[in-house]
Amino acid sequence: MTVNHQEEFIHHTVLLDEAVNALDIQGPRANAIFVDGTFGRGGHSRKILSQLGPQGRLISFDKDLYAIANAQQITDARFHIVHDSFATMSDALREQGLAQVDGILMDLGISSPQVDDAERGFSFRNDGPLDMRMDTTRGMSAAEWLAQEDEQKIREVIENYGEERFAFQIAKAIVARRASESISSTRQLAELVAHAVKTREKGKDPATRTFQAIRIFVNKELEDLEIGLTAAYESLAPGGRMVVISFHSLEDRIVKQFFASKAKVVQPDRRLPIRDADLPKPQMRLISRIKPSEEEVSRNPRARSAIMRVAERMAGVA
């Protein structure tokens, strides 16, 4: 499989400076260990490497073969790339002999080259095979899943992961169409959805929510996120920071709730004889919530929906 044809597609790393600055790579921390949960086209990873000291280390993850090929061009001895989801972080770090790291960045969603390359099947704007897998070596493609899943499950995926109010009509149309012909291209699916969606949101293609939903489901993005957040917290040293960039409300809700659960203290019954020193303490401190500037959005409209949340693991808390 060739992997160099995507070099023609341009990717603008969202919140590049803000995300790396939030990791606080300075002073003694310049020689610490960091994780980039999604290498993508390497914008965040290369920026982190530029700030690391000679003893610093960076372990990056990605499911996409094109991202892995790009990462393998980096010859820096401080850098290691893992071809897998950040959900496998705990095991992967143990294989590297690491119990804890000092900062973790997780940039969620998909990259511009994945969207712009019609052969990947992520976008309805250009016709191509209906694949949608980030890792084309594993799992079912979107076309394979749509060919065999029952109508109820298709409806649930489109409704829950795409927040699409016409999920019932779309699922019904998919099942009806596949009875006479296979749905194997992005154009076929986009046209089918366009006929099933009765009203359109201004400025948004009617297929947007359906394509998002199927992509999230096929790649197990929300499951990976939930597992990855727990793995990241458990792998984070006291004082270490987690930086997470999300691109839609489903992702951001999971991140927000996870950080809030770690920053919240459950107050015990005041009538119980508990010393102040024994009172529960928050496990994380919320640092910031940042959105791209107007200038960044004007340069890269795809950054518009991004939200970055930053939290720090508290010292002295198990």
User: Annotation-wise, does 267 bind a ligand?
Assistant: no
User: Annotation-wise, does 42 bind a ligand?
Assistant: yes
Q: Which of 172, 157, 184 is nearest to 250 (CA)?
A: 157
What six digits make up the tokens of 77? Answer: 């001895």
User: Annotation-wise, does 121 bind a ligand?
Assistant: no
User: Annotation-wise, does 43 bind a ligand?
Assistant: yes
User: Annotation-wise, does 211 bind a ligand?
Assistant: no
What is the C-alpha separation between 252 and 302, in angstroms, rounded?
A: 16
User: Annotation-wise, does 100 bind a ligand?
Assistant: no
Helices (H), 43-123: 43-51, 65-71, 89-95, 112-116
- Report, in this order, helix, strand and coil percent for the chain, each rounded to 5: 45, 15, 40
Under 8 Å between Cβ of 186 and 118: yes
Under 8 Å between Cβ of 133 and 139: yes
Under 8 Å between Cβ of 23 and 45: no
Q: What are phi and psi of 33, to 5 degrees?
A: -115, 130
User: Annotation-wise, does 127 bind a ligand?
Assistant: no
Q: Which of 110, 136, 160 is nearest to 9 (CA)?
A: 110
Under 8 Å between Cβ of 80 and 202: no
What is the C-alpha separation between 152 and 166, in angstroms, rounded?
A: 13
Under 8 Å between Cβ of 235 and 289: no
Do the bridges between strand 79-83 and strand 101-107 make them parallel or antiparallel, or are there none, so unpaired?
Answer: unpaired
Which residues does the annotation place in the binding site for S-adenosyl-L-methionine?
42-44, 62, 86, 107, 114
Which residues does the annotation place in the binding site?
42-44, 62, 86, 107, 114
